[in-house]
Amino acid sequence: MFTSLERIIRSGWITFKRQAGFTVATIFIMAITISLITSLFLFQKITKFSISLLQDKVDVSVYFKDTSLEQDILEIKEQIAKIPEVKSVEYVSNEEAKKRLLEKYPELTESLRETQGMLNLASLNIKAGQADQYAAIANFLEKAPFKNLIQKTDYYQRKLVIEKIFSVTSAINHTGVVLSLILVIIAFLVAFNQIRLAISNSKEEIFIQRLVGASNWFIRGPFLIQGVISGFFAALITLLIFIPLVYFLSPKMEVFFPGLNLFSYFAGNFFLIFLIQILIGIGVGVISSIIAIRKYLEL
Number of domains comprising the chain: 2
- Residues 171 and 73 placed together within one structural domain of the fold: no
40-60, pLDDT tens digit by residue? 788 778 777 777 776 666 678
30/95 same-domain check: no
Average pLDDT, the chain: 76
Is there a single domain that holds both residue 66 and residue 186? no
Domain-terminating residue out of 104, 128, 160 = 160
**240 pLDDT tier (thresholds 50, 70, 90):** very high
Domain shared by 37 and 71, yes or no: no
Query: Percentage of residues in the chain with pLDDT exceeding 70?
Result: 70
Domain termination residue (choose one: 160, 176, 195): 160
- Check whether residue 169 and residue 151 sit in a common domain: no
- How far apart CA 199 and CA 182 sit, in angstroms, is 26
Residues 13 and 122 grouped into a single domain: no
Pair (150, 114) in one structural domain: yes
Domain extent at residue 104: 58-160
Q: What is the pLDDT of residues 156-180, one digit of tens each?
A: 666 676 667 667 766 776 776 777 7
